[in-house]
Structure formats: structure tokens, C-alpha cells
Amino acid sequence: MTGSHRRPKRIAIVGGSAAGFFAARLLARAGQHVSVFERDDRLDPTPRTLIVTTHFRELLGASADSAVVNEIRQFEMFADGRVADVHLARPDLIIERSRLIRGLAEESAAAGTQVCLRRNFLGVQAAGTELSVAFGDRDSASQEEVRADAVVGADGAFSRVAQAAGWPSQPTVPLVQALVEWPRNVSPHTVRVWFVPEDTPYFYWLIPESPSKGVLGLIGLDGKDTRRCLDRFLVRQQLTPFSFQGARIPLYERWIPVRRKVGQGDVYLVGDAAGQVKVTTVGGIVTGLRGAIGVTEALLNGGSSVELKALRRELDLHLWIRRSLHRFTQADYCRLFDLLSASTLAPLRLHHRDEVGKILWRLCVRQPRLLLLGIRGLLIGRH
């Protein structure tokens, strides 16, 4: 990523998220003047156990290791008594979100980023050829104005930067998971997934954080009902929760253009603020990091970004798959599992979820009836 600017840009990044700090690191290393503004009085992100593909390590390099707490070598998938096993050629990674954010914050600061805490974003407006960004102290009535050439909103699904710059609000879905003791009869390098469409159009997951503990969770449509479903499923799996973690995750429905002009200045969105989430799994860490690469390219190259175009194609393909799966009944999942064999599952073993195009193509070549089942899901609703 190279730019042709006569002077370094002054870039204000709002929100101390993983995508925000990764963009800050990239931009600072490219010689830009970068400041990250975070509303909390200390960098202490809410812990959340997440699963990512090896593409996470490919994007971050050695710095990824500080966030990794476990590796996954096998998936066990269940649907109404049917079981499918997938052994991964490249292990998935279990990461701890708070470790990731703190590590990226340290790296961005080491690259020259200024990290400003207790800064509550109030608004952005044109100021000649620049942007004027207003912040308030979270615990007082004092305000300050910061001048910038560009602003990057990395402040989550309910982005105030997006609201201020005129982007429409985006839908979200609830994620709820319980921290549990890891079952003794399950390998600590195995993830279990259950498809129970009467509870959720997505799935339940059981993810090991370590040999002694893990998380059981799901994504739903309504927060209260999602929690009730989780409580029932915990009882069914004979697991006792220690604590709970939850969040609202943006629901990707279409590509959100990440750039808007405010006067002569540029405002960008990245990560959850831009809805950069794989809607098949509602996972946004890797796609958010890719969005940060894309926004960095755009800022350095006059708005042009190859990475953003590739990311859009990837997210749209996940959307096509989700629209099919969202209509699946339990009978449809049973048909799906009946079509799976060791040969058919090979693409899931060889390619990770951030290579969904390769997976989909090879699955359909090996078992064409999977494509017909997917099209059926797109064309008909639930009965």
C-alpha cells in the first residue's frame, strides 16, 4: 500500500476495536499521523471467546499469537441424531477478544499512534478543506475539537460516526454464550455444532477455550428468546454455566459503501460499523481486519482499494448461502447430512471458512444435489 500524498494525512479513528487499532497500526507504519479516540477511561475490552480461521494468523503474522488460547483440529456437527465429522488440515484458532485488542493497541502505539482515552465522540463536520471532530470528556462537560483530513468510524454496530455522517442504521442480532466446564468426553481441540432450526436459524456451538473450560452459545433473532433457548440447551447438554457473555452483532444484508464525503474530507467505516461480518457464522474478526486493510489502501490511494472489492464479493457469497440456510427446516438439515460423505466433506477439511468460494465450488462438484438443496432453500420458505 503506497500513497502519493505531499504530506502525511491526519487521521482520527473513533473506537478502540480490533479493526480500529489494526487500521491505526497499518496507517502509522505507512507514515500517517494517526490518533485513536476511545470513550472508556482505560483499555479493558469485554472478554469474549471467539473462533477464527488460520487467515487470522496470515493477516497479523506473529502478533496474532498473543490472542490465541487454543487450536481446533476437528468439528463435530449434529442434526436430529445425525453426525458429521470434519478433521481440519489447518487448525482453526480460538482467540480471546480482549487480548487481541490490547495487543493491537500496543502495536499501533509502538508504530506512532496516539491513543486518547475518555473521548466520547459527539460529531463531525466540514471545516474548510478539513474535518472538525468534536469529543466530550466522558465524565465532565468539557469538550475538545480535533482537526483531521479523514475520520474512520471503528465504533461498532451502533456506530455514532456512521449516524453523524448519514449512513442508515443497520440491523443486529443477539449473540449469547455461557462459560462452562469442558466436558470430559470431548477433546479440548474439538468444536461441536448443533443445527436446531426451531430454536435458531443459525446454530449452537460448543467451543473449547482450554482443556478445562469452554463456551456454549448461539445466535438468535430476539434477545430474551435467545437466552431462554440457551438455558434449555445447557440443561439438555448437562452443562452448568459459570457466567455469560453477550453482544449485538451486525447482520450483513448488503454491502455498505465505506466512504462518504463530508465537505472536502473523507469519513470511512470499518469492521462492525460497516457491517463487515460473515452472515453464515456472524463472525467478524477476520473480515473486520480485512476491512481495515481495505480502508488503509483507500486512504493511501485516493479511495481505491482492491481488498475492499474482494471483501465485498466474499461477504455477498456468504449472504447467498445464509439466505438458503435461513429457510432450512430440521428435515432439510437431515437431507443435507444424508448427502455428506467423507469424500464430500473433503473441501471443508482442506479449505477454511474464509475461502467459502472454494468450499462451495468443490462441494457442488463432489455432490451436485447439495446445489439443488441450496436452491430449494432460496426458493421456498418454512412450512
Which pLDDT score is estimated for 322? Answer: 86
CA 153 → CA 123, 129, 299, 315, 353, distances in Å? 11, 19, 13, 20, 26
CA 29 → CA 22, 355, 383, distances in Å? 11, 28, 55
Residue 354 has pLDDT above 80, yes or no: no
Report the percent of the chain where pLDDT is more than 90: 72
Q: How confident is the model at residue 4 (pLDDT cuts 50, 70, 90)?
A: very low
pTM of this structure: 0.89
Its CATH class, for the domain covering 172-250, is alpha beta
Task: Give start-end residues of each CATH 3.30.9.10 domain in the chain.
Answer: 172-250
The predicted-structure confidence for 305-329, as pLDDT tens digits, reads as follows 999 999 999 999 889 888 888 888 8
Task: Give start-end residues of each CATH 3.50.50.60 domain in the chain.
Answer: 10-46+98-169+253-305
How large is the average pLDDT for residues 222-232? 94
Q: Domain 10-46+98-169+253-305, CATH 3.40.710.10 — does that match?
A: no
Q: Rounded distance, CA 177 to CA 233, Å?
A: 11
Q: How confident is the model at residue 292 (pLDDT cuts 50, 70, 90)?
A: very high
Which pLDDT score is estimated for 333? Answer: 86
